[in-house]
Amino acid sequence: MLTFMASDSEEEVCDERTSLMSAESPLPRSCQEGQQGEEDGDSAAQWRSQESEEDCEDDPDRYICSGVPGRPPGLEEELTLKYGAKHVIMLFVPVTLCMVVVVATIKSVRFYTEKNGQLIYTPFTEDTPSVGQRLLNSLLNTLIMISVIVVMTIFLVVLYKYRCYKFIHGWLIMSSLMLLFLFTYIYLGEVLKTYNVAMDYPTLFLTVWNFGAVGMVCIHWKGPLVLQQAYLIMISALMALVFIKYLPEWSAWVILGAISVYDLVAVLCPKGPLRMLVETAQERNEPIFPALIYSSAMVWTVGMAKLDPPSQGALQLPYDPEMEDSYDSFGEPSYPDVFEPSLPGYPGEELEEEEERGVKLGLGDFIFYSVLVGKAAAAGSGDWNTTLACFVAILIGLCLTLLLLAVFKKALPALPISITFGLIFYFSTDNLVRPFMDTLASHQLYI
């Protein structure tokens, strides 16, 4: 889900386990800020500094505008659809990259498939003699995990409602520090061990320090968009790897299912925490914490390169709360977010403006998609068909979610459809297709 609310909750959750990306920066560094910058009277700056909470309140129109779009509805719909396919691909690429990183790591580094204990959020063990007991334990684990997430979300919403921005920001920074330094160090260590590459401590510290410091700067302050996107993908992958390692088998699948249901409920129900978060942010005209949101902005300069100040009055920035995905780590619902930057009010100039359209997806979605595919890859039978089937299923689910987004134009959870497809395809491919394809391959029959 892409919403600012989610980011808060995600932060909370992240802190528990790992520091996740902090969507501190109220706005993704992108050209969109340039557009809004002009409204603020700045020059079309490409980078916008993130100065924590002051910025949030100073720049209420980052990419959110509670105003009514100036264009006629038909035009808006047409433009949305015109860019629809490109948005889908802008999300396919990072999701695919994250999954590729996770699957490559799982298949090569033994560490992430070894059982080395469990997190405190899943205290019940699955090493029980009977199937019923194991099922019960996994259900209990799921209950505990989901209640932790719910509590965190509500805590975040409360914090946000009472404007405790400093607290939230501090937490986000702590989270991303831990993720960028500690988890990267562990990951690098395991990769080096796998490939038997020797590295001395000074080099290691230099590498990790540079990686982490640049990551903190890119995510929380200014940086090139591509670098920020790359860092967000990497920390999603790291987080997903942690989940794959520490969640026991059955609990992981039940948790995935439960998270999708929670996502659906929290985003669509009127009193759902995420929905309340979105609405609060909208009321205050504030951006949601973007540190936990992956944004991919694109700029098309068709005619004029710059919008003149007088025409900016006609520019509208409709806020789409649809895309918010905030729970990176804990599966808080994510909504794909499509935003439409300002467009001139009159149709004559449509083609000659600098258009910026970005799509946002919360990091929680990345993480849970990667957990699903990674678990499929780790599933012990060494089967690639299952992994590929889950991958295609998740992409199709994402595509359908974006289609629904274009139709309904409101915040939608990005987890349910994809995870449902992914789960269906995982279990059916593992149990039905795999024996069939294996038998065919061993006799070299082709269908």
Residue 80 CB, nearest approach to another protein (Å) = 10
Q: Give the residues across from 298 on adjacent strands.
A: 357
Measured from the CB atom, the residue of 65 and 297 that comes closer to another protein is 297
Q: Rg of the chain's alpha carbons, rounded to an integer?
A: 22
Q: Is 195 in the site for another protein (CB under 8 A)?
A: no
Stretch that binds another protein, among 8-16, 76-84, 272-280, 326-334 (CB under 8 A): 76-84
CB of 349 to another protein, least distance (A): 17
Strand-pairing partners, residue 436, are: none
Asked whether position 89 contacts another protein by CB under 8 A, the answer is yes
Contacting residue, 67, 85, 199, 300, with another protein by CB under 8 A: 85
Interaction between residue 445 and another protein (CB under 8 A): yes
Residue-wise over 223-258: b if at least 16 C-beta within 10 A, else e? Answer: bebeebbbbbbbbbbbbbbbbbbbbbebbbbbbbeb
**Is 365 considered catalytic here?**
yes
Task: Say how far apart CA 28 and CA 231 lie, in whole Å.
Answer: 13
Q: How many CA atoms lie within 13 A of 20 on its CB side?
A: 41
Q: Which x/- pattern over 257-276 shows residues binding another protein (rule: CB under 8 A)?
A: --------------------
- Contact with another protein (CB under 8 A) among 247, 389, 405, 411: 389
Q: Which of 57, 81, 301, 309 binds another protein (CB under 8 A)?
A: 81
Instruction: Please select the residue that binds another protein; options are 151, 305, 351, 432, rule is CB under 8 A.
Output: 432
Q: Name the catalytic one among 320, 365, 383, 430.
A: 365
Q: Note whether 78 binds another protein by CB under 8 A.
A: yes
Confirm or reject binding of residue 104 to another protein (CB under 8 A): no
> Binding to another protein by residue 439, rule CB under 8 A?
yes
8 annotated active-site: no
Token pair 């609990």: residue:
251
Q: How far is residue 127's CA from residue 139's CA, in Å, rounded to a whole number?
A: 14
**Applying CB under 8 A, does 382 fall inside the site for another protein?**
yes
Q: At residue 303, what is the residue type?
A: G
Which uninterrupted H or E stretch holds 357?
Answer: strand 354-362
Report how many helices (DSSP H) and strands (DSSP E) the chain contains, helices first: 17, 3
Please say whether the beta carbons of 213 and 56 come within 8 A.
no
Residue 228 backbone dihedrals phi, psi, to 5 degrees = -65, -45
Residues sharing a CB contact under 8 Å with residue 119, sequence separation 6 or more, in sequence order: 17, 246, 247
User: Catalytic site residues?
Assistant: 263, 365
The residue ranges that bind another protein (CB under 8 A) are: 77-78, 81-82, 85-86, 88-89, 92, 382-385, 388-389, 392-393, 395-396, 399, 425, 428-429, 431-433, 435-441, 443-447
